[in-house]
A and B are shown apart, each in its own frame.
Chain A
């Protein structure tokens, strides 16, 4: 790696290293905690998942650096509604009673809860541009409303919010594992606490080293400068408007034509085929219309001959 490679690595380490001294680095995070009925099951280590989650939360929230803002949002309403801990600076006196009141019972409406969490973070980002805005999903199963997860996930990511997932004692990877910033597994209470700590207390999880030995400038060289400038403008103006409901995102076609947004993982770039990218019309309605038109013409022709 050349000197610049090393410098940029260093830069990235500085970027991703959480420092409570800088308000700009402060983490704004909503922990989406699965409190569905299945969280009453036991983990290896002799505790239920919900008890392990409660202990982990208490330990981690006690260490949250000043300047961070944390909220805990439940999949199923608790005694005080969906927010176990409202998003904001941590009030240490109220954390204990709130977490201890937690119980597990109900379904897994992850999609709807992701939207609620994202909207709250976007509201906060409207007021404070700086900081790192994250959703941390702690769950032991797939969403009951996976169609909403599929709808909201690209929108949340398009607004520049990061999503980290912890799969709690799951037999297989959570389906979000390949579609979010990081995925961690926690098969016992200790690893659950460690996984939550890693996200909430801001340890770097990004491997920025470049194993190919190529410099950033080599990689960028073929990228037209004007296109780079337009890309920067687009990147630096993510919207803070709430996540859309009902309708698909404006560029749903574009976003969803890439495998990562359809829930499937592909390591192969598509061949030179028309993906219908760039927000074009879906061909299916047009084909249907053409089919109906041909059928009517045929029927009319038959009727005329009769």
Chain B
């Protein structure tokens, strides 16, 4: 729901006058920084930001200062939790030794990577993934159906986005899903995440802005809800709707804690306890949250936690416990112990540490936050030890999650629920979808499945309708429904209605449709319906073959995949690119397999242990 005030202050100072201007290097924003050793103290300063994932940190700590009977207190840790929404200040404190910890999204760390990663002492070791976000969205005006539409035909599409905040990563991923970059669109940077200087207000007041990156409350303010369109009343914008949401693009925004390398080396046990305590706390917090969601009865412990969040974040940010505080936690996909293993240690995880690091450094260098690529390290934890420390069961994450696909999609919903799509073509009668030829498309499909963990990847086979139409004409001729005059190469057709004197044209559409629906063309060897059904079957078989090829490819590469996300569908001849091909080249355009990333209820996917 809310990353309210996250970076607001920081980025306001950071990126003033940033509207569509050239990107300033992060080092230019912070100014020169001296690396100092971490200050010696009994109490370690740990920053937090306004996010549901941080509620588990408060819970583990018992408040801003460690309570003796809290999870951290019992582990012998002593922390002082400090506000970290001013990310630039966080970086300064980190560099000058005030705090060994950094708290942000993976991509925010990436934007600061050149500053924090140049000196080996401060090179970040990312030690904990708190969560995946499910509360960030791109809202667009009417006419934008899928992410593919962000590639404007005549002009660059204008997208409002807070400079330097979590939405830069969201936008990067959304564009990447459609194989676009920031150069294909016009990013209009705004100072704040929300409020009068946020992207939502910019979208509301400037009609030239086509889309904006927003948090949940602003999304609801613009559209009325995740599945609705704004009406223009009560502050909504007419036709505004969610183009993509992290509810579906569920592995885009990773919230993490990083620790200075020098501190990590000297205090590894303490850092392990910090991580183990957080995981223990988040398991308990998640249970409280889910119980309340299910029963609508708030336990005293949960009420106490939400009240604590309200006091820490402020009542102006969280006015109510049941809606705002609980909503903040609902927008947070807590990452459990298997999720830590999957993120940091599984080489085949396309949304894991290595993949996210590459994407973060790509963003940093391509968008102008850094000149050089300065990466981070993953922790070298034994998660069996972490499991013991946190008193949680040690569970290895699965690489291949078995599961049936989502039940069939009605045609209308498929179109309206498609987030992004791409197509591969094939030859007539082709049944072999070799990796050599389609490896790039398979990679893209697997990457999409990983990034869009809360969506289905519909593999939709299509067939060419030429043969069916030929059967229709032949059956019509055979049964006397259609009359033909002229010679080969110069035929003319007449439908035997209206005396059969009128040459076939558009005005006879109704007659033709009625004749087809009445079965008038059926009952002979040339059966258009039989051919249509055969084409439908073939397209389904082809989609299944592509799915099998992708699974085999994933297994060979050692890539994680959730099979319940992959849904083969046969469209047959129902959706041709060209209804009446006039030559083989046109017919081939119809022979294709389309990949569509489609919104589904994430609960329908078998990802309870996979989405972490």
Most chain B CB inside 10 Å of its own CB: which residue of A12, A153, A218, A255: A255
Q: Distance in Å from the Cβ of A162 to the closest Cβ of chain B?
A: 6
In the complex, which residue of chain B has the Cβ closest to the Cβ of A216?
B470
When the two chains form their complex, are residues B512 and A230 in contact, meaning their CB atoms are under 8 A apart?
yes
When the two chains form their complex, are residues A157 and B522 in contact, meaning their CB atoms are under 8 A apart?
yes
Of B473, B522, B530, which is within 8 A of A223 by CB? Answer: B473
In the complex, which residue of chain B has the Cβ closest to the Cβ of A132?
B533
Given A221-B491, A260-B479, decide whether A153 and B536 contact each other with a Cβ distance below 8 A.
no
Of B495, B497, B537, which is within 8 A of A132 by CB? Answer: B537
In the complex, which residue of chain B has the Cβ closest to the Cβ of A277?
B497
When the two chains form their complex, are residues A254 and B480 in contact, meaning their CB atoms are under 8 A apart?
no
Q: Distance in Å from the Cβ of A198 to the closest Cβ of chain B?
A: 14
Of B514, B528, B580, which is within 8 A of A229 by CB? Answer: B580
Q: Which residues of A contact B523 (CB under 8 A)?
A: 153-154, 157, 163, 179-181, 260-261
Q: Which residues of A contact B204 (CB under 8 A)?
A: none
The residues in A between 209 and 247 inclusive whose CB is less than 8 angstroms from any CB of B are 212, 214, 216-239
Bound-complex Cα distance A266 to B523 (A): 13
Bound-complex Cα distance A271 to B493 (A): 14
When the two chains form their complex, are residues A216 and B579 in contact, meaning their CB atoms are under 8 A apart?
no
In the complex, which residue of chain B has the Cβ closest to the Cβ of A254?
B518
Given A228-B580, A270-B500, decide whether A251 and B518 contact each other with a Cβ distance below 8 A.
yes
Interface string of B494-526 (1 = CB under 8 A from A): 011111110011101111111111111011110
When the two chains form their complex, are residues B516 and A231 in contact, meaning their CB atoms are under 8 A apart?
yes
When the two chains form their complex, are residues B520 and A261 in contact, meaning their CB atoms are under 8 A apart?
yes
Cβ of A78 within 8 Å of any chain B Cβ, yes or no, is no
Q: Which residues of B contact A236 (CB under 8 A)?
A: 532, 536, 572-574
Interface string of B443-477 (1 = CB under 8 A from A): 00000000000000000000001111110111001
Bound-complex Cα distance A174 to B139 (A): 65
When the two chains form their complex, are residues B508 and A227 in contact, meaning their CB atoms are under 8 A apart?
yes
Bound-complex Cα distance A159 to B572 (A): 16
In the complex, which residue of chain A has the Cβ closest to the Cβ of B530?
A162
Interface string of B518-555 (1 = CB under 8 A from A): 11101111011111111111111100100000000000
| Interface range, A side | 35 or more
In the complex, which residue of chain B has the Cβ closest to the Cβ of A212?
B488
> Which of A16-24, A45-53, A82-90, A296-304 lies on the face that meets chain B?
A16-24
When the two chains form their complex, are residues B537 and A217 in contact, meaning their CB atoms are under 8 A apart?
no
Q: Which residues of B contact A230 (CB under 8 A)?
A: 509, 512-513
Of A25, A158, A228, which is within 8 A of B519 by CB? Answer: A158
When the two chains form their complex, are residues B525 and A206 in contact, meaning their CB atoms are under 8 A apart?
yes
When the two chains form their complex, are residues B524 and A129 in contact, meaning their CB atoms are under 8 A apart?
no
Given A258-B479, A269-B480, decide whether A132 and B518 contact each other with a Cβ distance below 8 A.
no
Q: Distance in Å from the Cβ of B464 to the closest Cβ of chain A?
A: 8
Chain B: how many interface residues by the 8 Å CB criterion?
Answer: 78
Bound-complex Cα distance A129 to B529 (A): 13
When the two chains form their complex, are residues A268 and B480 in contact, meaning their CB atoms are under 8 A apart?
yes
> Which of A2-10, A35-43, A108-116, A139-147 lies on the face that meets chain B?
A2-10
When the two chains form their complex, are residues B428 and A254 in contact, meaning their CB atoms are under 8 A apart?
no
Cβ of A284 within 8 Å of any chain B Cβ, yes or no, is no
Cβ of B295 within 8 Å of any chain A Cβ, yes or no, is no
In the complex, which residue of chain B has the Cβ closest to the Cβ of A127?
B408
When the two chains form their complex, are residues A234 and B491 in contact, meaning their CB atoms are under 8 A apart?
no
When the two chains form their complex, are residues B491 and A225 in contact, meaning their CB atoms are under 8 A apart?
no
Q: Distance in Å from the Cβ of B524 to the closest Cβ of chain A?
A: 7
When the two chains form their complex, are residues B525 and A254 in contact, meaning their CB atoms are under 8 A apart?
no
Q: Which residues of A contact B429 (CB under 8 A)?
A: 7, 10-11, 14
Bound-complex Cα distance A179 to B515 (A): 16
Given A24-B537, A162-B530, A254-B518, decide whether A220 and B468 contact each other with a Cβ distance below 8 A.
no
Q: Distance in Å from the Cβ of A105 to the closest Cβ of chain B?
A: 31
Cβ of B492 within 8 Å of any chain A Cβ, yes or no, is yes
When the two chains form their complex, are residues B480 and A266 in contact, meaning their CB atoms are under 8 A apart?
yes
Q: Distance in Å from the Cβ of A219 to the closest Cβ of chain B?
A: 6
Q: Distance in Å from the Cβ of A260 to the closest Cβ of chain B?
A: 5
Given A255-B518, A277-B497, decide whether A269 and B483 contact each other with a Cβ distance below 8 A.
yes
Of B467, B504, B527, B573, which is within 8 A of A8 by CB? Answer: B467
Given A11-B429, A179-B523, decide whether A259 and B480 contact each other with a Cβ distance below 8 A.
yes
Cβ of A160 within 8 Å of any chain B Cβ, yes or no, is yes
Cβ of A94 within 8 Å of any chain B Cβ, yes or no, is no
Bound-complex Cα distance A163 to B529 (A): 12
Given A15-B538, A217-B466, decide whether A181 and B532 contact each other with a Cβ distance below 8 A.
no
Q: Which residues of A contact B541 (CB under 8 A)?
A: 19, 22-25
Cβ of A252 within 8 Å of any chain B Cβ, yes or no, is yes
Bound-complex Cα distance A267 to B40 (A): 101
Cβ of B368 within 8 Å of any chain A Cβ, yes or no, is no
Cβ of A93 within 8 Å of any chain B Cβ, yes or no, is no
When the two chains form their complex, are residues B530 and A231 in contact, meaning their CB atoms are under 8 A apart?
no
Cβ of A278 within 8 Å of any chain B Cβ, yes or no, is yes
When the two chains form their complex, are residues B544 and A258 in contact, meaning their CB atoms are under 8 A apart?
no
Cβ of A65 within 8 Å of any chain B Cβ, yes or no, is no
Bound-complex Cα distance A228 to B581 (A): 10
Bound-complex Cα distance A181 to B536 (A): 19
Q: Which residues of B contact A132 (CB under 8 A)?
A: 530, 533-534, 537
22 A–B pairs (Cβ distance < 8 Å), ordered by A: A7-B429, A22-B537, A24-B536, A129-B540, A130-B570, A154-B523, A157-B529, A180-B523, A181-B527, A182-B525, A214-B488, A219-B473, A226-B506, A228-B469, A230-B509, A230-B512, A234-B512, A236-B532, A238-B529, A254-B518, A269-B496, A272-B483
- Measuring CB to CB, which residues of chain A are less than 8 angstroms from any residue of chain B? 3-4, 7-8, 10-12, 14-16, 19, 22-25, 129-133, 153-160, 162-163, 179-182, 206-207, 212, 214, 216-239, 249-252, 254-255, 258-261, 266, 268-275, 277-279
Beyond A23-B540, A228-B469, A229-B580, 9 additional pairs, beta carbon < 8 A? A8-B467, A22-B540, A160-B522, A217-B582, A223-B473, A223-B504, A250-B518, A251-B514, A251-B517
- Measuring CB to CB, which residues of chain B are less than 8 angstroms from any residue of chain A? 408, 428-429, 465-470, 472-474, 477, 479-483, 488-489, 491-493, 495-501, 504-506, 508-520, 522-525, 527-541, 544, 570, 572-574, 576, 579-584, 587
